[in-house]
Amino acid sequence: MMRKVTIYLLLLICFPSTYISYKTFLSFRQQAIMTFDFNARRFNFATDQFVDDIIVDLPNISATTIPLKALKAKYLQETKKDSDQAKILLKKAINDNPYIKIPETELSRIYFDEQIADSAIYYGKKAFYGIPNNPIHFGHYVAALALKSDTLEIKKAYSQVSLKNDFLINKLYLIAMSSFVDKETSKNFLDAVDYAYVNDDEYKISYYMLKHGKNNVIKAINTGIIADSLFNNKQFKAASKKYLEAIKLNPSEPAYYQNAGNSFLQISELDYADYYLKKSIDSFNDRKGKSEYLYSISLLEQKNPKLACKYLRISYNDFKYKDALYLYNNFCKKGN
């Protein structure tokens, strides 16, 4: 009798243990897929059956410490477009791991998409101040603040970030600010942002808008497009005038100086060509070597091979501009 009781007790103990182990095993298999999808941000490829079967309570946290409810919420949002159920799961996920701040960030994003500013700001703030140096948290928070044009809070959030030299942080800050700030109210926001040598049009345009005003930057872009068309049609004089108009509207864009100098070079107005090409080199060097190359052509036309060869060497040796090597080999002697 005692042996039977013992066996029954062991079975009773083993059954829940076996069940938990089995559920954990299934969860780990799901987590391998979910972790990959989370890192690749590709939730919309999952089947409805996979989403429905995701285990969120046993265990409730993944091996990477992300709450499983938060991962399932992403699938619900992206695959089933069920934002309401996603929000319910994300709010529950906060209790599962209150330190990681991913649920708060995702809630801020959903409310931002729904244009519910107060909720987007509320959850964005929790995520950002929980982990302030995370660019994703910063981006969602300042985007939410931008819904209410809250420049003071955006600036305050930026001041809390220690990674001021992080490109993505600065880019997000500039985009948020430039979406509504005009020149008169933007001067105080520029002191910590360095845009030099950045090959990112969205980032630079945001900076330009802050510095020179949105309307001026848009007009400059349109004027530059007209100038490019005139240049391509070999109407160099007209093109030079348009590039100068673009410079007046946005004097921070290096391409306008280089293109203006090139336009003057084509019609042999070399004094003007030299001025704008040197401006491009000395003040806005894009580190591509074309301005140095064009300036050397102007110098060769002015019978100054020594200085021309110096800039050809810089163009090719420093920036690998290929046309400079051809010109150097044909016009530069050892003495130059």
Asked if residue 21 is part of any domain, the answer here is yes
Query: In which domain, by residue range, is 297 found?
Result: 239-331
Asked if residue 193 is part of any domain, the answer here is no
Distance CA 138, CA 130 (A): 11
What CATH number does the domain containing 301 carry? Answer: 1.25.40.10
pLDDT at residue number 248: 96
Asked if residue 231 is part of any domain, the answer here is no
Q: Which two tokens stand for residue 235?
A: 């109407």
Asked if residue 269 is part of any domain, the answer here is yes
Q: Which two tokens stand for residue 262?
A: 């090139």
Asked if residue 104 is part of any domain, the answer here is no
Cα dihedral sign, 279-281-287-293: positive
Asked if residue 265 is part of any domain, the answer here is yes
- 197 by DSSP, 3-state: which? coil
* Residue 326, H or E segment: helix 322-331
pLDDT at residue number 231: 96
Give me the number of domains the chain comprises. 2
* Residue 36, H or E segment: helix 2-40
Short-list 153, 96, 148, 147, CA closest to 125: 153
- H helical segments located in 115-212: 117-130, 135-146, 151-160, 167-178, 201-212
Asked if residue 48 is part of any domain, the answer here is yes
**Rounded-to-5 percentages of helix, strand, coil across the chain:** 75, 0, 25
Asked if residue 215 is part of any domain, the answer here is no
- Per residue of the chain (336 residues), what is the pLDDT tens digit? 666 556 666 656 665 666 666 677 788 888 888 888 887 777 877 888 888 888 888 788 887 888 999 999 998 888 878 899 999 999 999 999 999 999 999 999 999 989 999 999 999 999 999 998 888 899 899 989 988 888 889 989 988 888 766 778 888 888 888 776 665 555 555 655 656 667 677 788 888 888 888 889 989 999 999 999 999 999 999 999 999 999 999 999 999 999 999 999 999 999 999 999 999 999 888 889 999 999 999 999 999 999 999 999 999 999 999 999 989 988 886 656
pLDDT at residue number 60: 84
Distance CA 305, CA 69 (A): 70
